[in-house]
Copies of this chain bind each other. A is one copy, B any other.
Amino acid sequence: MSGLWYTEKQTDHFGITMKIKRTLHTEQTDFQYLEMAETEEWGNMLFLDGMVMTSQKDEFVYHEMVAHVPLFTHPNPENILVVGGGDGGVIREVLKHPKVKKATLVDIDGKVIEYSKKFLPEIAGELDNERVDVRVDDGFMHIAKSENEYDVIMVDSTEPVGPAANLFTKGFYAGISKALKEDGIFVAQTDNPWFKADLIREVQRDVKEIFPITRLYTANIPTYPSGMWTFTIGSKKYDPLEVSDEQFHEIETKYYTKELHKAAFVLPKFVKDLTE
């Protein structure tokens, strides 16, 4: 048995460590250091620049919670944009909504898409669906060129360092607002409240200046720093807390439920304080 362990330092002084069966692929792409490995605990995993992006065992949490919260909030989500998300997990969840006519994925790094299809097939498997348009392109520029086009935009980015740095700026949120229709919604992953409180506070402040409805919700992702992940919603018209029971329909999930849709917005006090 291999003695190989993969350690992600989530802060300078804290990390997680995972037993590796074997490395599947390693490559410096044009944008980031990409690693795929088979782990004992979490199945196959994708790492970018030394950080866990997704694992076969816990990927459902992130992907369900990014997709279903805004999609059940919007009464008629037909045209969807996913920025980042080259592993395809968010797209897979988006397609569970029959109202969705078209989902565009824009990831800057084609290698993420390529190797996710190869080593994470149950995550990336819907990227070839006929309702999906996959583009290898700069999400920031794609947003800047779009106007009054999307019902829902989902920002499934890496951390605010490296290729995703400009996806955490006020200019980007303003671009998202312009790219959305007049009743559009966006959601972005916004890291964790234990180590990145300042980031969450800043994003909340920026999004509030542009969107009349700004909300923060959380989910438990064991392979992400602190196990508690946050998502920020900016919405022009529909409030995720005011979804009526009739708006929900049955979908197959392992984490999301219609009850959790609302409970996920009920924040621990120290997290709630970041939104005020």
**Residues on A facing B (Cβ under 8 Å):** 7, 11-19, 39-42, 58, 61, 194, 218-222, 225-228, 253-257, 259-260, 262-263, 266-270, 272
Q: Which 6 A-B pairs have the closest CB atoms?
A: A227-B227, A263-B266, A13-B40, A13-B19, A222-B226, A220-B228
Number of copies: 2
Is A17 a contact partner of B15 (Cβ separation < 8 A)? yes
Chain A interface main SS type: mixed
Task: List 5 A-B pairs, Cβ < 8 Å.
Answer: A14-B18, A222-B226, A222-B228, A226-B227, A260-B267
Known contacts A220-B228, A263-B266: does B41 contact A11 (CB below 8 Å)? yes
Contact at B7–A13, with CB atoms within 8 Å?
Answer: no
Residues of chain B within 8 A (CB-CB) of A7 are 17
Once the chains bind, are A260 and B255 in contact (CB under 8 Å)? no
Name the B residues within 8 Å of A18 (CB-CB): 13-14
A270 near B257 (CB under 8 angstroms)?
no
Q: Which of B14, B227, B257, B269 contacts A220 (CB 8 A)?
A: B227
Closest to A16 in B: B16
CB pair A268–B257 under 8 Å, yes or no, is: yes
Q: Does A42 contact B19, Cβ atoms closer than 8 Å?
A: no
Q: What is the CB-to-nearest-CB distance from A58 to chain B, in angstroms, rounded to a whole number?
A: 7
Q: Given A255-B268, A256-B269, A257-B268, 8 more contacts at CB 8 Å?
A: A13-B40, A15-B16, A17-B17, A218-B220, A220-B228, A226-B227, A227-B228, A259-B266
Query: Which residue from chain B places its CB closest to the CB of A40 in the assembled complex?
Result: B13
Q: How many angstroms between the C-alpha atoms of A13 and B41 in the bound complex?
A: 6
Q: Which of B42, B219, B225, B255 contacts A269 (CB 8 A)?
A: B255
**Chain B residues near A268 (CB-CB < 8 A):** 61, 219-220, 254-257, 260
**How far does the alpha carbon of A150 sit from the alpha carbon of B128 in the complex, in Å?**
61
Taking a contact as CB atoms under 8 Å apart, the answer to whether A14 and B13 are in contact is no
In angstroms, how far is the closest chain B Cβ from the Cβ of A260?
A: 5
Q: Check if B228 sits within 8 Å of A257, measured CB to CB.
A: no
> Which residue of chain B has the shortest Cβ distance to A193 in the bound complex?
B220
> Which residue among A13, A19, A219 has the maximum number of chain B CB atoms within 10 Å of its CB?
A13
A225, A262, A266 interface centre (most CB from chain B within 10 Å): A266
Question: Which residues of B lie under 8 Å from residue A266 when comparing CB positions?
Answer: 257, 259-260, 262-263
Least distance between A67 CB and chain B CB atoms (Å): 15
Q: With the chains together, A153 CA to B243 CA distance in Å?
A: 38
